[in-house]
Structure 1
Amino acid sequence: MRKIVLTAATAVLGLGMAAPALAQDGPPTNSPDRAFNGPRAGVLLGYDKLQPGSTDGSSIRGDRGADGLTYGGDIGYDIDNGGRFVFGVEGEVTGSTSKVTNNPVDAAALGYGRVKAGRDFYAGARVGYKLQPTTLLYVKGGYTNARLDLTANNGTVTTGQHYTLDGYRVGAGVEQAITARTYAKLEYRYSNYGNARLEFANGANTNNFSVDTDRHQVLAGVGFRF
């Protein structure tokens, strides 16, 4: 899995090195000092790891993690007034192949039984600083809502349900404008989920209860500005 991340990162860096040649393909739609302005949309690919947190008071604990590939897309809007700082808002929808395939009776699988990561929603903001007119270093933060597909066993019956988790995400990355409309980026994100609820097949769900689940991700992305 780490090889996939390295391959994606290499592709991003390669696109950045090719920027001068690509920039000649057409007239710029933004002035050079406003390379990060306006609406954008892109695709994401990278490494995903879920693991138990360290809070002793959590209702659900475990000592194993799950890693895999995360993939999806994002949209955003940035304000670049031509100075050094850029401000933006963004949202993401991603999926993941991360899972733990141990015996579903084993409580050590993230504390949930057998687990597969499902969809993940994120909404937040970012602040960037332009190292160069076309190179942006940024930090980000916001709300994340994730799903875990669960197979659990009470000693007699095995059932499959969903956990929905609420938490926060922070991260940092670098974005490179390739042309006036295209860009590539590489970022690290940390998420912590502190609340969860169990969702049943009939649509009902439990009250929120305390959990402590960490998520580490390294993603590469490419996108287009409108």
Structure 2
Amino acid sequence: MKNIALFGAAAALFAVPATANAQAYVQAQTGLDSVSVNGGSSEGLTYGVAAGYDVQARDALFFGIQASVSDSTTKECERDLLSVGDKLCVRSGRDLAAVARVGTNVGDTTKLYVLGGYTNARIRVTYNDGTNKDSEGTNLDGFRLGAGFEHDFGGNLFGKVEYNYSNYEQGFSRHYALAGLGVKF
């Protein structure tokens, strides 16, 4: 089911918009990544790209879809858990998301919006006891909710700030505070 949803979102994202008032875009984004696991949290940097398009529905109302891929530097390690000198690390990896956006135009150059959709994150656990190193990764499905502010700088260039909350399986959740720079075409 999740593969069908991702394929459908990707196909819709890259399909040529049928309406004349649709605006496609691509953006680079970076920001703070805070990953929580059963009450504990760790912070790092997230970075990635997103693409999508928005369709103007009425004077001030727009709808859109967006797909993104990002990675993270967030990592937490503990030493001396089972024996002296051992090390257990949990690292967040790539994050894929497909979301829908709905928002309002505030003047000619600014948008406020909310978003929601599907996300899939990769988590890698590594254990090293000094002689053996074991590593295992897993993909976690979840949902994403967020809100943002977007401003056109002129021409096709725009910037945005956005907050995202993602909740995954197995007690994982994530908070993103993002800044993005993109181009519309």
Q: What is the TM-score normalised by the length of structure 2?
A: 0.79
What is residue 99 of structure 2 aligned with on the other side? 124
- Among 4, 19, 25, the alignment partner of 1:40 is 25
What is residue 80 of structure 1 aligned with on the other side? 56
Give 3-state SS (helix, strand or coil) of 1:101's partner: strand
Distance 2:143 2:92 in 1: 17
Report the CA distance between 1:217 and its aligned residue: 0.8
- Among 80, 94, 98, the alignment partner of 2:74 is 98
Give the conservation status (yes or no) of the 8 Å contact 2:24–2:54: yes
Distance 1:75 1:120 in 2: 14
What is residue 64 of structure 1 aligned with on the other side? 40
Q: Which amino acid aligns with 1:140?
A: L
What is residue 182 of structure 2 aligned with on the other side? 223
Give 3-state SS (helix, strand or coil) of 2:118's partner: strand
Distance 2:57 2:144 in 1: 27
Report the CA distance between 1:139 and its aligned residue: 0.2
Same amino acid, percent of matched pairs: 39
- Over the aligned positions, Cα root-mean-square deviation in angstroms equals 2.0
Distance 1:85 1:220 in 2: 23
Give the conservation status (yes or no) of the 8 Å contact 2:31–2:179: yes
67 and 104 in structure 1: CA distance in 2 versus 1, 3 angstrom threshold: farther
Q: Which amino acid aligns with 1:49?
A: S
180 and 142 in structure 1: CA distance in 2 versus 1, 3 angstrom threshold: same
Structure with the greater alpha carbon radius of gyration = 1
What is residue 50 of structure 1 aligned with on the other side? 35
Give the conservation status (yes or no) of the 8 Å contact 2:57–2:63: no
Q: What is the TM-score normalised by the length of structure 1?
A: 0.66
104 and 70 in structure 1: CA distance in 2 versus 1, 3 angstrom threshold: farther
Does 1:149 find its partner at 2:124? yes
- State how many pairs are aligned: 159
Give 3-state SS (helix, strand or coil) of 1:65's partner: strand
Q: Which amino acid aligns with 2:34?
A: K
Q: Which amino acid aligns with 1:163?
A: T
Give 3-state SS (helix, strand or coil) of 1:189's partner: strand
Higher relative contact order (CA 8 A, sep 6+): 1
Give the conservation status (yes or no) of the 8 Å contact 1:104–1:153: no
Give 3-state SS (helix, strand or coil) of 2:78's partner: coil
86 and 104 in structure 1: CA distance in 2 versus 1, 3 angstrom threshold: farther
Deviating above 3 A after TM superposition, structure 1's stretches of 4 or more consecutive aligned residues are none
Distance 1:84 1:212 in 2: 38
Give 3-state SS (helix, strand or coil) of 1:133's partner: coil
Q: Which amino acid aligns with 1:132?
A: G
Distance 2:103 2:123 in 1: 32
